[in-house]
């Protein structure tokens, strides 16, 4: 019995110990020729190097940012040197950034949180309690919280609807955040949207018009299990926490490769290896998190004029397709609206965002929620929701901080994306709402 108790105690202790990244570097390569792009692809595919790509090799003159573990740093830099590829060290020791972030988090008294507090990244339960408080006490009857199911580990997946005079034909906008666990700035941005839509109603004419005209469905955290895991155990975890009894013990699926649009295709951009950060899962919509979102959207899909799935980082505004290089039927309109969004973002704090087709501007993303939301009934890559304006905002920054974006960036990011969101709706209105 004593041995059993000791074993259980050691297991509990191991689960409580946070993974550390001491000595891990963040490097960047700026490719000026196709050779460098292809070499970096090959280098990443050497699995023994354990490279964690933060931005993928995609094109000449597009920076490639990646994390290198301490025990692989010498070997990777040796191979880069031998190949004649120059690199910069963005971060010497990523654990120092995580420690700084942790100091801010631990100093925060979440029991004293106020709605307009946008200077820290919140735990999932605190974030949802705040959302419920907004809905119940600060929304004037214009909000409703909906549970769309539970996550793999049993957490309640909720979204908030904000709108007046709701009916079955009122047009709507869907926004989700936090499908990738380590992208903490995304859920923080969703909470900023909720704040502005609820607190500016009645005092800001444009917000009042928008809430009266449209319903806004906002899902602050698509992947709550992964989000909490990044807070408690492994800060740079990306995937869900589902377990399919992989022989090597690898768990989790990349939620943004699990949707039914070109899922598992041979176009690249997703992996069939369970240990990969871009593992697409054993089947399309294998993850309960993607299933729940699908099942909520499809019955009311004709109401939506636009879909946003918010990510970080890189400062992009992406639109379909990410799965293939095919030109989308409404390419001109997607481009026009995308440009209006990034222009509005720039006008707030001077941040430059690049907009364009995802597969061209960034990289391939087979099975993404963006493409599934856009895909029409009978699309060759799989039927989706048929929402004509589907975008993936990739938030700040361009790699200086990456996923460790300091909390003092939450407010300016929220402000610029809020401007972009409003600009998107106005531009769609100027073109004409989708039928």
Residue that the structure tokens 């600060």 belong to: 138
Tell whether 292 and 174 lie within a shared domain.
Answer: yes
Residue 287 in domain: yes
**Considering 64, 96, 128, which residue would you say is the last residue of a domain?**
96
Residue in 423, 365, 431 with CA at minimum distance from that of residue 392: 365
Residue 135 in domain: yes
Strands 215-219 and 172-177: parallel
Residue 196 in domain: yes
Of these residues, 287, 394, 404, 427, which one is catalytic? Answer: 394
Q: What is the pLDDT of residue 203?
A: 97
Q: Burial of 151 by CB count in 10 Å (0-12 exposed, 13-18 middle, 19+ buried)?
A: buried
Q: What does R_g of the chain's alpha carbons equal in angstroms?
A: 21
In the chain, the number of structural domains is 2
Tell me the per-residue pLDDT of 149-198, one tens digit each, with 9 for 90 and over. 999 999 999 999 999 987 888 999 999 999 999 999 999 999 999 999 99
Tell whether 92 and 122 lie within a shared domain.
Answer: no
Give the CATH number of the domain where residue 65 resides: 3.30.70.340
Residue 104 in domain: no
Tell whether 207 and 301 lie within a shared domain.
Answer: yes
Residue 27 in domain: yes
Tell whether 129 and 263 lie within a shared domain.
Answer: yes
Residue 251 in domain: no
Q: What is the pLDDT of residue 6?
A: 36
Give the CATH number of the domain where residue 262 resides: 3.40.630.10
Of how many residues is the chain composed?
A: 435
Tell whether 76 and 174 lie within a shared domain.
Answer: no
Tell whether 138 and 166 lie within a shared domain.
Answer: yes
Whole-angstrom CA distances from 7 to 12, 15, 19, 224, 233 are 9, 12, 20, 29, 20
**Considering 62, 96, 130, which residue would you say is the last residue of a domain?**
96
Tell whether 27 and 125 lie within a shared domain.
Answer: no
Q: Is 307 within 8 Å of 393 (Cβ atoms)?
A: no
Residue 340 in domain: yes
The parts of the chain modelled with pLDDT lower than 50 are 1-14
394 is catalytic: yes
Tell whether 47 and 124 lie within a shared domain.
Answer: no
Q: What is the pLDDT of residue 13?
A: 38
Tell whether 80 and 121 lie within a shared domain.
Answer: no
Residue in 268, 264, 263, 215 with CA at minimum distance from that of residue 369: 263
Tell whether 131 and 71 lie within a shared domain.
Answer: no
Q: Which domain holds residue 40?
A: 17-96
277's tokens: 């950060």
Tell whether 73 and 149 lie within a shared domain.
Answer: no
Tell whether 213 and 305 lie within a shared domain.
Answer: yes
Residues 6+ apart with CB under 8 A from 429: none
Residue 4 in domain: no
Q: What is the pLDDT of residue 265?
A: 79
Q: What is the pLDDT of residue 268?
A: 66
284's tokens: 């399309």
């Amino acid at each position: 019995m004593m041995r059993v108790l000791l074993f259980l105690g050691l297991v509990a202790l191991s689960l409580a110990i946070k993974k550390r990244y001491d000595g891990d570097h963040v490097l960047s390569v700026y490719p000026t020729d196709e050779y460098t792009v292809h070499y970096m692809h090959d280098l990443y595919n050497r699995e023994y190097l354990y490279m964690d790509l933060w931005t993928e090799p995609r094109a000449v003159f597009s920076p490639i940012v990646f994390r290198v573990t301490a025990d692989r740093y010498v070997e990777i830099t040796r191979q880069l040197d031998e190949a004649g590829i120059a690199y910069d060290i963005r971060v010497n020791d990523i654990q120092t950034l995580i420690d700084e972030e942790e100091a801010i988090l631990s100093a925060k008294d979440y029991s004293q949180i106020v709605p307009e507090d946008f200077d820290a990244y919140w735990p999932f339960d605190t974030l949802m309690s705040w959302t419920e408080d907004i809905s119940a006490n600060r929304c004037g009857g214009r909000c409703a919280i909906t549970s769309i199911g539970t996550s793999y580990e049993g957490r309640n997946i909720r979204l908030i609807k904000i709108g007046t005079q709701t009916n079955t034909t009122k047009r709507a906008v869907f926004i989700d955040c936090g499908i990738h666990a380590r992208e903490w700035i995304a859920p923080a941005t969703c909470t900023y949207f909720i704040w502005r839509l609820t607190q500016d109603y009645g005092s800001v004419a444009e917000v009042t018009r928008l809430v009266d005209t449209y319903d806004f469905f906002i899902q602050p955290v698509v992947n709550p299990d992964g989000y909490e895991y990044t807070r408690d155990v492994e800060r740079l975890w990306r995937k869900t926490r589902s377990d399919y009894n992989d022989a090597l013990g690898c768990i989790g699926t990349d939620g943004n490769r699990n949707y039914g649009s070109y899922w598992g295709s041979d176009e690249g951009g997703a992996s069939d290896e369970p240990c990969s950060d871009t593992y697409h899962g054993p089947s399309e919509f294998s993850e309960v998190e993607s299933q729940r979102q699908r099942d909520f959207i499809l019955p009311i899909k004709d109401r939506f004029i636009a879909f946003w799935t918010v990510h970080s980082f890189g400062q992009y505004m992406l639109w379909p397709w990410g799965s293939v290089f095919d030109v989308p039927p409404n390419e001109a309109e997607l481009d026009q609206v995308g440009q209006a969004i990034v222009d509005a973002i720039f006008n707030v704090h001077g941040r430059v965002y690049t907009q364009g087709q995802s597969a061209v501007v960034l990289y391939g993303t087979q099975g993404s929620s963006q493409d599934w939301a856009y895909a029409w009934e009978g699309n060759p890559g799989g039927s989706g929701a048929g929402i004509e304006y589907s975008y993936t905002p990739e938030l700040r920054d361009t790699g200086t901080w990456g996923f460790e974006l300091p909390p003092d960036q939450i407010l300016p990011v929220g402000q610029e994306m809020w401007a972009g969101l409003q600009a998107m709706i106005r531009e769609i209105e100027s073109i004409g709402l989708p039928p």
